[in-house]
Structure formats: C-alpha cells, structure tokens
Structure 1
Amino acid sequence: MKKVSDIFKRKGLSNISVTPDTLVLEALRTMAEKNIGSVVVMEKDSYLGLFTERDYARKVILHGKSSSELRVGEIMSEYLPRVGPDSSLEDCMEIMTNHNIRYIPVFSGTEYVGIISIIDVVKETMLAQKDQIEQLQHYIHASV
C-alpha cells in the first residue's frame, strides 16, 4: 500500500512558501511563475497555513477586495486536516474528498514536512497500478 512518504520520495520536499505579510498579488505572481496552485504560509520555521487559488477566487475576487492591498495571512486556509508520512494514499483521498480540498499538509508529529496535492495522490496511485500491472504481466509470461 502506497504512503505519503512515497510521494515525497518521487517529487522531493521542496515547497514554495510566503510569509503571512506577503501581498496576495505577490503570492499569485509566485504561483504563476512556478506553475503551482498553492503556497505554504510560514513564519520563520513555523507552518501557519496554505494560500490557494481557491482562497483567492472565493475570498478576494468574489468579495470585491483588492489583491494588491490584502495580505495572504488575512485569507489563508488555516485549519486544514493533516496527515503523516505513513498515511496511506487511500486515507488521503478520503480526507480530501470529505473536506472538499485539493491540498493537505503533512506533519511528522508536530513537525511540518510538506504539502501534497490531489494530483500528487493520483500520480502516485497511477504509478503503483502501472507497477502492479507490469508485475502481473511478467508473472503471466514467466508462467507460460
């Protein structure tokens, strides 16, 4: 059974972060440059939350606020469910589906590890299925 740690083995642990004082417009520019849908909000070495495209669409645009004046800390998602490196991908899918979220922070105890996205979970699941199919094909060919 694949785990969150398998995702990090494949993609690494690099996360793009901003401070809560970062202007929303600056965070959006960073996200566009990196072609990502979220940034981690950190203060020093402490995880505070996550700022996503969904936060922008629902908390800035729809409320007529200005992204050049608003700070990320004012609209970030703070209380997302958390998983650990040993959490199964199935558990992650269930949590993300039940909470209607696309990103989930990963913690080892109280220490922040990183963020995974639904795309990370889908990719890892597809790779596991591909490996399993190849192993079964090899087994069938070896048995014949």
Structure 2
Amino acid sequence: MKKTVAEVLKSKPISNVYSVAPESSVFAAVKLMAEKGIGSLVVIDGERLAGIVSERDYVRKVAVQERSPANMKVSDIMTSTVITVTSTEDSRHCMELMTSNRLRHLPVVDDGQLVGLLSIGDLVKDIISAQENLIQHLEQYIRGE
C-alpha cells in the first residue's frame, strides 16, 4: 500500500520544520542545525520559500573553500531552485524524486504554504515499517492465524 506524504509526515515523532532567513549568517544556520540534530533548514523570505540550505551546502561552499561562515549569508550558499512535493503525493514518487535528483530533503508545500519537510530517512523508516508489517502478516498467514 502506498502512503501519501501527509501520512508519512504524521508518523514522524517530531514534525517541526526549522527555518532561517536568507540574510542570516551561515554560522547561525550551521549552529541551529547542530543544536537540533538536523541536516537542513528551509530558507524563508517573508512568507515565501526562498530555498534550502544543508550541511552539504556548508561543506562544499564554505568549509572546503576555507571561507568564514560568520561573514557569509545563507543566501550565498543555499539552493534556491527547490524541488517540492504536495502532501497528497505518494511516498514512492518522493523516493524517486530524491534518488534521481540526489536530494536528502523535500519541502512539502500545499497551496503555496510550507507544511512539512520530508527526509530520505523518513521514507526509509516508512519502507522498513511497511516491510515489517508485511512479514508479520505473511507469518500469521503461514501459521493459519
């Protein structure tokens, strides 16, 4: 059975979506990611989704180039062309999008409003859970229960 993005988001233990403004320092963004134990932040400019910034962006555009995160803005390193999904799309489609585009996070946007953030980990956990349920049902069937 395919799950919708909304169903996957509901199963997350913590549904907070952390964000940062484009003019925030890269240091502040990285510090927030470290404090929250997360790998990315959505970048919100007013009410608009302006981009996404990740640990990968930091490593590739700041650390490897030996630049100072305190003197850089999030807008300098964020990905501004963001692939999003809606809460009605199915999890398999999201997995395909993430795999083909080499993404780890997908913002979920309904009617122009950010409603969640889906990670590759969320989808993997969902797949594992579905497989465990299938195995349990098959074992019960085999035992005649």
Q: CA RMSD in A?
A: 1.5
**Match among 53, 56, 76 for residue 55 of structure 2:** 53
Preserved contact between residue 33 and residue 39 of structure 2 (Cα < 8 Å) = yes
Shift of 1:85: 1.1
| Number of aligned residues | 143
Matches within 5 A, 1:1-144: 1-11=2-12, 12-142=14-144
Deviation, 1:89, is: 1.6
Gapped runs of 5+ residues in structure 2? none
Runs of 4+ off more than 3 Å = none
Aligned 8 A contact 2:20 2:43 in 1: yes
1:29 CA drift (Å): 0.8
1:97-127: per-residue Cα shift (whole Å, max 9, x none)? 1111111111123222121111111011111
TM-score after normalising by structure 2: 0.90
| Amino acid of the structure 1 residue aligned with 2:4 | K
Question: How far, CA to CA, are the matches of 1:16 and 1:115 in structure 2?
Answer: 9
Residue 55 of structure 1, CA deviation: 0.5
Preserved contact between residue 2 and residue 125 of structure 1 (Cα < 8 Å): no
| Distance across 2 between alignment mates of 1:59 and 1:117 | 22
Q: 1:47 Cα shift?
A: 1.6
Separation in 1 of the partners of 2:92 and 2:49?
Answer: 25
The answer (yes or no) to whether the contact 1:2–1:88 under 8 Å persists in 2 is yes
Q: Does the residue aligned with 1:101 lie in a helix, a strand or coil?
A: coil
Percent identical pairs in the alignment equals 36
Residue pair 2:8, 2:91 contacting (<8 A) in 1 also: no
TM-score (norm 1): 0.90
Q: Deviations over 1:14-42 (max 9, x none)?
A: 11111111111111111111111111111
Distance in 1 (alpha carbons) for counterparts of 2:137 and 2:79: 41
